[in-house]
Copies of this chain bind each other. A is one copy, B any other.
Amino acid sequence: MDQQIIPITANNMRTACSQCNLRELCLAVGLEDDDLHKLDSLVARRKIKRGQPLYRAGDPFNALYAIKIGFFKTDILTEEGLEQVTGFQMAGEILGLDGISNDTHVCNATALEDSEVCVMPYDQLEVLSHEIRSLQREFHKFMSREIVRDQSLMILLGSMRAEERIAAFLINLSQRMKLRGYSSSEFHLRMTREEIGSYLGLKLETVSRAFSRFHDEGLIGVQQKHIRILDGDGLRKLLDHNNC
């Protein structure tokens, strides 16, 4: 575990916030150069192999994590032993916000591909955001955004039907890929059908069937985990139209 942690030194400055190509997505948004360097000084890097946990439910909380490279899922094990996925996170997104409330992580965060995160010790982050007003601002916005995100998911789970949920899921993924400079029309799913289903409150068979259906209708191309969006508007129509 120790050797996974790479402090940022003159040698790997490239990977520091001030040089990071994700800084416009991450907590570093809008920071001045001076302040960026201060943020650099508290960030360490850590690699996580596919399938490995970044943290687990019950672990003491002491840092937030910004995803530098890779893809994660967060999930919770219910008392009955069922896994429920609460989110999928990609580069630039922040993991661990749920831990602040109780100084303990409430969910598991697991890498779905070989990944790398920026470790931001929370006590230091608090000190720094106390010092840098715009960091404090941005931090609050990140937490608020997480709340808003969770609420959209609540709406999805509370009022959409299976195919609507899956269309919404694909559109959301596609948008986030685009925001990161990847193709929005063609990408690899990093998660299984079962994980998608768990996230959307559906069974894996239902996810599979919806994919097949969308495929037959020419909306998407599916080859295992490789997805092509062939008719984005068609997918979007599924959301508006069905409930009228």
Chain A interface main SS type = helix
Residues of B contacting A130 in the complex (Cβ-Cβ under 8 angstroms): 130, 133, 136
Interface of chain A residues 91 through 110 with chain B (CB within 8 A)? 97-102, 106-107
Selected from B140, B243, B244, the residue in CB contact (under 8 A) with A143 is: B140
Interface of chain A residues 70 through 104 with chain B (CB within 8 A)? 76, 78-80, 82, 84, 86, 97-102
* Nearest CB in chain B to that of A85: its residue: B158
A141-B104 Cα distance, complex, nearest whole Å: 12
A145-B106 Cα distance, complex, nearest whole Å: 11
The reply to whether A98 and B147 form a contact with Cβ atoms under 8 Å apart is yes
The reply to whether B100 and A144 form a contact with Cβ atoms under 8 Å apart is yes
Selected from B84, B136, B150, the residue in CB contact (under 8 A) with A150 is: B150
The reply to whether A78 and B155 form a contact with Cβ atoms under 8 Å apart is yes
A157, CB-defined interface residue at 8 Å: yes
Selected from B107, B136, B144, B151, the residue in CB contact (under 8 A) with A76 is: B151
* Chain A contacts to B: CB under 8 angstroms: 76, 78-80, 82, 84, 86, 97-102, 106-107, 126, 130, 133, 136-137, 140-141, 143-148, 150-151, 153-155, 157-159, 198-201, 239-240, 243-244
